[in-house]
Structure 1
């Protein structure tokens, strides 16, 4: 089997080449390596041109390129794509209370065990992430037993909707470079994408299940829940007290109103009696 060649070397590029560099190099090499221009050595030209197309397909796709960059050494050593597996931590053993010994920051305590685990998951994703990340895209750390709840809330808000950055290209069953035409290449891409998407979905569900397991047992969450419940109870008590005070105030106003009305009626009766008395005198 012929020795594999680095795609960057095939295109005469360095690993920090830009998208424009890749496009420019491809156009120039495609013209010089095209079989029509190498009639005297058609077989060699065909092989070189095919390799150039293969290199361009990978390096012009940011996600494919990132995967290639990460595994380039293994590929050049002769490993086939389906032999290269991105290592990922098995989270299943961590969905058990037996993986930690206490709810402390000790080496085997709840907060240390899961802090290390989520750091590992984050590190596994980093090579597949796009350049500069927005603050909202940076994975918040798990923290420790003394972390403020604002940090704890931020952690769970991010991880409960976790989406892996991994692309799972090593699961591809077919290679587009083997396709006889574009139609078949598109079908290959579609089938490979279906397989990759399934793997991503499975990983996302695994991590989210882990997060739910951890959250249910996180004493920081339980403590905050109790504070919220106590606050809600206090607000309920204050609301009830205010309601009673408002009722008492309305009843008092009603009593004052009735008393005022009674006083007015009594005064009116006295005035009428006085008028009648004066009329009797006149008569």
Structure 2
């Protein structure tokens, strides 16, 4: 995560920004801060560019963004809890990026799997047909076993 900085402030967007606004802000900042296109020292530009990339990755994923929002809310509550001790401590939900990421196969992917299985079946059938035409024996013993 981005150290000591709010991801929303880093990208310059509000907490209610949608994905289009996030992407627009990220593209603008990445053009300004990319080490190949800026006049900043390369170490500083690389560090800032990585922070912007990490902030965008975090906020563009809906699950991670919800978890981050809970984390920010918890921090704000801890600050106000010193003033108002009756507020309970909010625990952020821990999510894993790998859980629930499986998506259904698209039509193009299903079609390519169909073509792959048909080509394997036809190759096998062609090999057996050619062996039959040559009069080959289907009970072939490998030479390394003899």
TM-score by length of 2: 0.51
Structure 2 SS opposite 1:36: coil
In 2, Cα distance between equivalents of 1:75 and 1:23: 26
Gaps of 5+ in 1: 78-84, 88-165, 173-188, 198-283
Q: Report how far residue 3 of structure 1 moved.
A: 5.5
Name the residue aligned to 1:6: 6
Query: In the alignment, which residue of structure 2 is the partner of 1:57?
Result: 57
Paired position in structure 2 for 1:86 = 91
Aligned-residue offset at 1:74: 5.0
Higher relative contact order (Cα pairs below 8 Å, separated by 6+ residues)? 2
Q: Unpaired runs of 5+ in structure 2?
A: 79-89, 102-146
Q: TM-score, normalised by structure 1?
A: 0.27
8 Å contact 1:26–1:56 — kept in the other structure? yes
Q: Is residue 11–residue 52 contact of structure 2 (8 Å, CA) maintained in 1?
A: yes
The structure with more helix, counted as a fraction of residues: 1
Greater Rg over alpha carbons, structure: 1
**What CA RMSD, in Å, does the superposition of the two structures yield over aligned residues?**
3.1
Q: For the residues of structure 2 that align with 1:43 and 1:32, how far apart are their CA atoms?
A: 15
For residues 47 and 75 of structure 1, the distance between their equivalents in structure 2, rounded to whole angstroms, comes to 25
Change (3 A) 1:28 1:6: same
Name the SS for the 1:17 alignment partner. Answer: coil
Where do 4+ consecutive residues of structure 1 move more than 6 Å?
A: none
- Count of residue pairs the alignment pairs up: 88
C-alpha distance 3-56 of structure 1, shift in aligned 2 (>3 A): closer
Q: What whole-Å deviation, never above 9, does each CA across 1:189-213 have from its counterpart, x for those lacking one?
A: 5xxx25x89xxxxxxxxxxxxxxxx
